[in-house]
Amino acid sequence: MSRRLGKVPAYCHHKASGRAVVRIFGKDVYLGPYGAPESHEAYEAEIARWRAATNEGESLEHEIRANSRFDLTLAEVLLRYKAFAENYYVKDGKPTKELTEMQLALRPARVLFGDTLARDFGPLSLKAVREAMINSDLSRGVINNRTNRIKRFIKWAASEQLVPPSVYEGVRTVTGLKFGRTRARETDPIKPVEDEHIEPVLAAVSSQVAAMIRLQRLTGMRPCEVVLMQFQDIERSKDIWIYEPQEHKTQWRGHHRVIALGPQCQEILTPFLILRQHGFLFSPRDAEEYRNGKRRENRQSPMTPSQQKRKPKKNPKKAKRDYYDVASYRRAIKYGILKVNKQRKVEKKELLPNWFPLQLRHSRATEINELYGIEAAAVSLGHSHADVTRVYAERNLKLAIEVARKVG
């Protein structure tokens, strides 16, 4: 026999957290940001459940008792996941970039739903977190990536029996944001960089950075592969040298990465192989020593006695490292472009556009695709599937124009 419906629970404002809340059978259920459409949708869903439970003579308290072993809040589950992630996302004893990316993805979930029971984190909760990302002006691609990382966290929690499996099944139903159907910011696709924009920069950067730029342009290496080139990683016994990076993007999948180095690459590398017969070939420390030496040669006034007695600091705060990372390599290119544009501005010439290392990879992919086809481009870039390479290789407009001229 069904019970008579009582007063409908009200949609309320939890001022401490800025979230909407409704009390169902004496239990607070958080709905997302107060006033947001998603919170009203969650409220209607909870009221529908309350009506059904009341009409059928069931109480949500019974459901809570059935799930009493899943009594951790989302913040408590996140704390356990942190301990797991700090040991899992490690390479050579150091945390990887993925650990940082997971922290960034999970932060809004903790802020919005940290004191909510993890078992109550469902599709609408995930959509509320995603809406917060949109409001923070993240791009659609970044939001989709971070949403997938949250799903991965929930999957881990389910595998550890910290949440019911139904929680993971629920968040899996949330699809990614689609192009043109969301308020999320769109980013421009990465384009190849023109050679006429590369050449002027080579003279404005150190020889190490110039060599890395030229190698990337000739081979299509990833930025992370070129900055970590080491003497011992290059096999030079044959006419075509083979470079096998110790670290690369798909290493965790068990993939093997080899890069063929032809005569032009060999010519670029030879001076650095002579200079450094072990360790990293491209060193910011070497670049700094060379710059300081040139400054001393070009010095017009003699050094003062105090300058002559000055000694280098034993532990400088910003000591130069033995190798570049992707960020410092990108900054060096940006500095070179600024330096060139400063002179061009004085000469009233057209300024160079800002470009970055990954565009060199796109340039090489486009060139190989045009000359030898998509399969050759996939092999050169180290892709397992040619479909991935199509993202890098620009469509051959010249070929399309020629086809149109003949048969269009």
Q: What is the DSSP letter of 29?
A: E
Question: Given this structure, which CATH class describes domain 74-171?
Answer: mainly alpha
CA nearest neighbour of 24 among 65, 54, 57, 69:
54
* Residue 12, SS3 per DSSP: strand
What is the per-residue pLDDT for 3? 42
Cβ-contact 32, 39 below 8 angstroms:
yes
Judge residue 30's burial from the number of C-beta atoms within 10 Å of its C-beta, 0-12 exposed, 13-18 middle, 19 or more buried. buried
Domains of the chain by residue range: 12-66, 74-171, 195-297+320-392
User: What is the end-to-end Cα distance of the chain in Å, rounded?
Assistant: 75
CA angle at 156 for the pair 151 and 158, rounded to the nearest 5°: 95
Judge residue 106's burial from the number of C-beta atoms within 10 Å of its C-beta, 0-12 exposed, 13-18 middle, 19 or more buried. buried
Question: Given this structure, which CATH class describes domain 195-297+320-392?
Answer: mainly alpha
Both tokens of residue 387? 């479909």
What is the per-residue pLDDT for 39? 87
pTM over 0.75: no
Distance CA 47, CA 51 (A): 6
- pLDDT tens series, the chain, 408 aa: 334 446 788 999 988 888 899 988 778 888 889 988 888 888 888 887 777 776 644 444 444 444 446 788 999 999 999 999 999 988 878 888 899 999 999 999 999 999 899 999 999 999 999 999 999 999 999 999 999 999 999 999 999 999 999 999 999 999 999 988 899 999 887 788 898 999 999 999 999 999 999 999 988 888 988 998 998 888 888 888 888 887 655 555 556 678 888 889 999 999 988 877 778 888 888 878 777 766 776 777 777 777 667 776 666 666 667 788 889 999 999 999 999 999 999 999 999 999 999 888 888 877 777 776 656 556 566 555 545 445 555 545 555 556 556 655
Both tokens of residue 391? 């993202």
Q: In what order do the strands lie in the sheet with 241-243?
A: 234-235, 241-243, 259-261
